[in-house]
């Protein structure tokens, strides 16, 4: 039996971004995100409930400031004590797993989606490829940083503001630059 486009998306295979099931699921997520963003900071308890309903799984103490953006929501998994500051985007075509006690600065972007190198497949943005992103515990991503598809960061990692993380790194490091590199070890 042939895989659905959603199955292909989640397993990291080339998939049709405009598949009707996926379009409908993005529409549901968009409505949930709009309701979350409309709250602003006026009702933290309701905001947390909306985040818990949107994300695939959360720990306790999750806070997401407006304006937040994601594709599906159900592919985002965060641990206890998660904070996303203003204007964060998490494109969750593949799973995005974020550990406990993690902070995302303003305008942080996490991408788990890519497009094919072949221009014929890339035209009109119709085809995508998902690559999971994983952040360990106690990760702090500075404002404006970008985490690219397929990246895994260990625990106790600090990503400097504006860094572009294109590859994986282990525990206890400070990353900075474009492309990001280790600028300090944290022992």
Coil, helix or strand for 7?
A: helix
Residues labelled as active-site residues: 115
Which residues make Cβ contacts (< 8 Å) with residue 117, sequence separation at least 6? none
For residue 143, count CB atoms less than 10 angstroms from its CB and return exposed for 0-12, middle for 13-18, buried for 19 or more.
Answer: middle
Strand partners, 69: 89
How big is the CA angle at 152 (ends 126 and 70), to the nearest 5 degrees? 45
Q: Tokens 């900075």 sit at which residue? A: 176
Identify which of 105, 110, 101 has the alpha carbon closest to the alpha carbon of residue 137: 101
Backbone angles phi, psi at 159, to 5 degrees: -105, 120
């Amino acid at each position: 039996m042939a895989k659905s486009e959603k199955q292909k998306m989640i397993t990291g295979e080339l998939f049709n971004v405009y598949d009707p099931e996926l379009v409908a699921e993005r529409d549901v997520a968009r409505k949930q995100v709009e309701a979350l963003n409309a709250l602003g900071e006026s009702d933290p308890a309701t905001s947390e409930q909306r985040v818990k309903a949107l994300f695939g799984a959360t720990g306790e103490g999750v806070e997401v400031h407006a304006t937040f953006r994601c594709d599906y929501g159900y592919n985002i998994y965060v641990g206890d004590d998660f904070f996303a500051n203003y204007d964060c985007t998490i494109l969750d075509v593949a799973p995005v797993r974020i550990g406990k006690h993690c902070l995302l600065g303003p305008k942080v972007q996490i991408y788990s989606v890519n497009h094919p190198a072949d221009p014929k497949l890339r035209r009109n943005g119709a085809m995508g490829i998902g690559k999971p992103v994983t952040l360990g515990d106690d990760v702090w991503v500075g404002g404006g940083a970008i985490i690219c598809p397929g990246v895994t960061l260990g625990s106790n990692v600090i990503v400097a503001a504006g860094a572009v993380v294109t590859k994986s790194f282990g525990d206890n490091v400070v990353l900075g630059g474009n492309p990001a590199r280790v600028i300090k070890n944290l022992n």
